[in-house]
Structure 1
Amino acid sequence: MGLNMTIDLGVQELIVLGDSDLLIRQAQGEWKTRDLKLLPYKQCVEDLSKRFRSIEFRYIPIIYNELADTLATLASMLPYPGNTCITPLEIQLRDQHGYCNTLEVESDCEPWYLHIKNFLQTGKCPEHANGDQKRTIRHLTSGFFLGGEILYKRTPDLNLLRCVDVENAEKIMNGIYAGVCGSHMNGYVLVKKILRAG
């Protein structure tokens, strides 16, 4: 289901993280799949994997993947109606410091990420861009991910940060600063609240 969802989103490059050493090594082709019940699943993964420009399977020990383990346990308790579309569950988990960059308002009122988003959508740079600017835009896009109409910035630990324009950033900041999330918080807690709201 996860591979199908990423294909539907138009993802071309994917890293699959799993806490089953056996399944990851089978998906990587390092180990053979001997269980007859698993052969159709292995074939399905191989077929779906061909639809990506690049796909990588990585093993993560379960002690570093508690959230996925909890979700798998919950999912196993629910009946799955075969003909129902399941909307993906969006979960935000932040136990680290958040970082932000201050950006000046663009003179043309366009969002700061407009050229990056356009390049990911169309594969084309702006007509007025020179060679250096085009190289910069192509280089920058490798650090971003487009999910539908929403642009995300990739972090080194594979988290995605939603990109917002000045207007939405001000709404988020004003809502939090006005005390919606509590008025007595230090800077670290405030940054976490802002990132959750984004």
Structure 2
Amino acid sequence: MHFDGSKMLAGLGVGVVLTSPTGDIVQYVLQILCTDSNNAAEYEALLHGLRMAVSMGIQRLEVRGDSNLAISQISGDFDAKDPKMAAYRNAVLKMSARFEGLEFHHIARESNQAADVLARIGAKRDPVPPNIFLERLFKPSVVWQGGDSNDSPVPNTNTDNEHTDIIGDSTTEVTPSAHIIMAVIAPWTEPFLAYLNRKELPEDQNEARRIVRRSKACKVHEGELYKKSTTGVLQRCISEEEGRQLLAEIHAGLGGHHAAARALVSKAFRTGFYWPTARADTQDLVQRCVGCQLFANQSHMPPTALQTIPITWPFAVRANLGIKLDYASVYHPQTNGQVERANGLIMSGIKPRLVRSLKESDKHWVVELDSVLWGLRTTPNRTTGYTPFFMVYGAEVVLPCDIIHDSPRVRMYEEKEAELDLQDSLDALGEERDVAKARSTFYQQQAQRYQSREVRAKTYNVGELILRLP
């Protein structure tokens, strides 16, 4: 087993690689969603790898890592004077009793590249490659003397009670510890709050300059951090885990129509939330969604060569079968295209929601139709910049995710002010519709110019010779 821990600006990450004597490899990435030191991340990597080995029934294991501190403390070469490190060492020794044979070896970093790459992926919160298990740890695995009991749970060396969130299915179960973390301030906002409230900056000069620069777009309200968007709307800063739950609710929850990554993150920001890994989390969610990948627009290579059909063959077949062909023109081509586009959007949203439901009932699409239509009507249109709901009622709708995650609109709602704002919005609705019409016209002109770039107009003069095909 190779293990490694990493600490970066985005957070802590752990990488574990288990290799069998026959060459089979199992790889794990662990994202630690709480603030801690790099040495703690190394110990978490070691503990996580031992738990995985126990769950797989491994009895003899050779452990290799580049953490000199962890290996030396476990081997007895170094004393664990720090209470936290002593607690981690005791947890590892207790876990070691489950193996018939267990050896620890310190290796150079160059020999631990595989685990180091996985640890960096977890620390940066990058998308995890296929065939690699991803788990999340919301609290430290040990408790130590002098530690805060609210932030440090009781040591847990039982694999059956592991407080991790395993990503391997389309539905992710949220553990109780996740709610505890979300109730507290998001870890990534702590440096910004420290600077805005107490003028405290990190010791690293580059990090300090980054905090000062980005704090200009932030504001503290009732102890929480808010970010000012480009439109001036305040967005409540939430943790990455709460952001992923918000995306899952918008994507496939009540009123979700499995929108693309760009529309999904735009809808999350318009709802009034912000977190730094929103775009990466959105792409990861769409890529892991079974329905989106199953019904995505993909170009497929033909299995055989093209078999051409003679031009006269269809007419000959129709004549032999007694089929009469009538030609009819579309009464209003623009409207016909809009209907086809609307039907296409509904189908692209309803198919992913029926991946599992079709196994139960072939008429389940009727139940999902309302959610898909609701999702389309509350998603900003690329042409106008507004949602269809806003174009009709003059105000944005309050989504279920707004109530579940306590968005700024829900938190600051007052009935009298909301009634006055609604009246003002209705008075200005005509102007907003004119703006939407102007945007739509501009978008159509851009599309027309793009389409006309490949057009090569050809004119003929009287007397020129042309080739007429039979």
TM-score range, shorter chain: 0.3 to 0.5
TM-score, normalized by length of structure 1?
0.40
TM-score, normalized by length of structure 2?
0.18
Of Structure 1 and Structure 2, which has the larger fraction of its residues in helix? 2
- Structure number with bigger Rg: 2
